[in-house]
Chains A and B, each alone.
Chain A
Amino acid sequence: MTVGIPGTGLGGLFYFLLVAWMPFREAYLTARRRSSLARWRSVGFHLLILGGMLGVLWGEAWLLERALEILRLEGDGGIHPARQMFLKAGQFAALASIAVLAALLATVAALRLTPLARTTRDRAR
Chain B
Amino acid sequence: METSVAVASRDAAPVRRGVGLTVLVPAYNEEASVADTVRSLLAQSVPVDEILVIDDCSTDRTGDVARGLGATVLRPHANTGSKAGAQTFALAHVRTPYVMAIDADTVLDPHAVERILPALREPGVAAACGFVLPRRVRTLWERGRYVEYLFAFTFYKPIQDHYARPLISSGCFSVYRTEVVRACGGWSNRTMAEDMDLTWTLYHEGHGVRFVPEAVSYPLEPHNFHFLSKQLRRWSHGFVQNVRLHWRQILHQPLLRSMVAVGLWDAAIASVAFLVAVPLLSVFVSPLFLLAYLFDLPAVLVPTLVGAWRRKEVGLALASIPGFFVLRLVNGVFMLRALWSELVLRRTLKVYEKGH
Seen from chain A, the residues whose Cβ lies within 8 Å of a Cβ on chain B are 1-12, 14-15, 18-19, 22, 25, 39, 42-43, 45-46, 49, 52-53, 56-57, 59-60, 64, 82-83, 85-86, 89, 100-101, 104-105, 107-109, 111-112, 116-119
Contacts and interface: CB of A to CB of B under 8 A. Distances in A.
Interface of B: 148, 151-152, 154-156, 158-159, 162-163, 167-168, 170, 193, 196, 235, 238-239, 248-249, 251-252, 254, 257-267, 269-271, 273-274, 281, 285-286, 288-289, 291, 295-303, 306, 324, 328, 331-332, 335
Contact of A5 (B196, B238, B271, B286): B271
Contact of A64 (B159, B168, B259, B291): B291
Interface residues of B, dominant DSSP:
helix
Contacts of B332: 5
B266 A3 contact: yes
Nearest to A45: B158
A39 B162 contact: yes
B328 A117 contact: no
Nearest to A110: B251
A118 B252 CA distance: 9
Contacts, number: 154
Contact of B328 (A7, A10, A14, A49): A7
Contacts of A59: 298
A123 B241 CA distance: 23
A25 B162 CA distance: 10
Contact of B252 (A12, A42, A119): A119
Contacts of B266: 3-5, 8-11
Given A5-B274, A89-B289, A112-B251, A11 B263 contact: yes
Given A56-B301, A60-B298, A3 B257 contact: no
Nearest to B238: A1
18 contacts: A1-B193, A1-B238, A3-B239, A5-B267, A8-B295, A15-B155, A22-B159, A25-B163, A39-B162, A42-B158, A45-B158, A46-B162, A56-B298, A60-B297, A89-B281, A89-B289, A104-B265, A112-B252
